[in-house]
Every structure is written in C-alpha cells, then in structure tokens.
Amino acid sequence: MNAVLAAESVGKRYGDRAVLKSGSLWAEPGMVTAVVGRNGSGKSTLMKIAAGWLAPDHGTVHFMGEVYERPRLHLLARRGLFYLPDREVLAPGLTVGDQLRAFARGSGGDAREAAELLGIARLLDRRPHGLSGGETRRAEVALAFARRPVCLVADEPFRGVDPRDAEGVAAAFRALAERGCAVVISGHEVPILFPLADRLLWVESGTTTWLGAPAEARRSDRFCREYLGTGG
C-alpha cells in the first residue's frame, strides 16, 4: 500500500474510558478513503490523531515517509497536510476572497478556480457571518482546494449540509483526488459517502476494520447488518 498518511495502531483514553483502543488508517494518493462508524465509535479521535490535532497514547503516525510518535498538526501541515475539522474554520474578520487568496499564495493554488468549483464566486466579498451553513462549508472546502494539499483529512464534512451543497463538496473532494491528493473523509451519510469513496474504513467500538471498495463492503453481512441496518 502506497500510503502518504498512515496511523498505525493508535489509541486514546480519557480517564478510564478508551475512546480509541487500536485504530489504523491509510491514505493513498489519488484515492478517497471514507471513515465510517456510529457516534462514539472513535472515528473522530482517529481522524484527529492522524492529522496531528490530538496526540495518541500509543501508536505512530507516518506522513511523507517520516514517522511521528507525537504528531503535531503544524509540522504535518508544513509538509502538505490539510486538516478540516468538524467545526467552523473561517476567520471572522476577513472576506472569503481574502482567505482564499491567502491560502492559495505560495502553494501554486488558484483562488478563483477554487471559488468557481465550489460555487462561491459570488460570495468572495462576504465575511463568514453573512454565510449560510452550506455556504460556509463550501467556502471551507474551497480553502483546502486552493491550498493544493498532498493529503486532506476532513472530519464530518457533510454534517448539516443540504444535498445541493453536499454535491458540490463531494465534487471538490473528487477533483482533489484526481489531482493526486490523498483524501480522507469521515461521516455517516451513506448515500453521499458510498458513491464518492474508493475505499472504506469501519470504526467500531474503538477498533478499525478495512472494508475495501464500497461494493466489497456491501458484501460484508456484519457491516450491512450492524452499520447499514440491512441484511447485506
């Protein structure tokens, strides 16, 4: 597996509670990996550790050929990782256009192209407080596109996003992957995630199971029964 980013057997406890017991994650160039699981399964913790947002209690993170026992987001970001957390990231005092241009500067990205792909060209003079939830999410993904990362880790990017906005966000993720970016996204939205993903990783009770392509995942009776609520 030609992984740009890999979290190997990472775990995290909060007091007596093991949120993540032993989780692994791999992100390959040109591929979209979807991390799926129920609330409380440990998937957000796994994403945060892989991005260097949260230090693991054990395990290692590998990025661009380097091994990190205690990864840090700013170190990984310098080497081309972009982390999109499950919260708003736009700076409130700057316009959308100013932020896009700042992210594109020095990375070879194109702020206008990012705005057009995400359908926010008409919003470039606005500040975040004037955006809807869906517009905010599209603007945040546009920042990632303008940055042209080697690897994008996006935690719950479709949460609270209506189908029309979700379609634009998904298209941007696919466009990034087609340019060679290793894309990792988490979520619950099966109708969006399954058509978008090249590979699926299932997080369950703090552990991970590599399911392969969506078609393979649907052949897993246990996954279908316990996560999709069907008989396979």
> Domain of 221?
5-90+152-228
Task: Identify whether 129 is part of a domain.
Answer: no
pTM of the model: 0.94
CATH number of the domain enclosing 31: 3.40.50.300
Strands 32-36 and 182-187: parallel
Task: Identify whether 125 is part of a domain.
Answer: no
Q: Which two tokens stand for residue 132?
A: 């809807």
Task: Identify whether 115 is part of a domain.
Answer: no
Phi, psi for 18 (deg, rounded to 5): -90, 100
Question: Total structural domains in the chain?
Answer: 1
Tell me the per-residue pLDDT of 193-231, one tens digit each, with 9 for 90 and over.
999 999 999 999 999 999 999 999 999 999 999 888 876
Q: CA-CA distance, 67 to 64, in Å (whole number)?
A: 9
Tell me the per-residue pLDDT of 80-139, one tens digit each, with 9 for 90 and over.
999 999 888 999 999 999 999 999 997 888 999 999 999 999 999 999 999 999 999 999
Task: Identify whether 30 is part of a domain.
Answer: yes
Task: Identify whether 108 is part of a domain.
Answer: no
Are 107 and 144 a contacting pair, CB within 8 Å?
Answer: no
Task: Identify whether 136 is part of a domain.
Answer: no
**Mean per-residue pLDDT of the chain:** 94
What's the 3-state SS for 88-148? CCCCCCCCHHHHHHHHHCCCCCCHHHHHHHCCCHHHCCCCHHHCCHHHHHHHHHHHHHHHC
Task: Identify whether 216 is part of a domain.
Answer: yes
Work out the average pLDDT over 54-59: 96
Task: Identify whether 26 is part of a domain.
Answer: yes
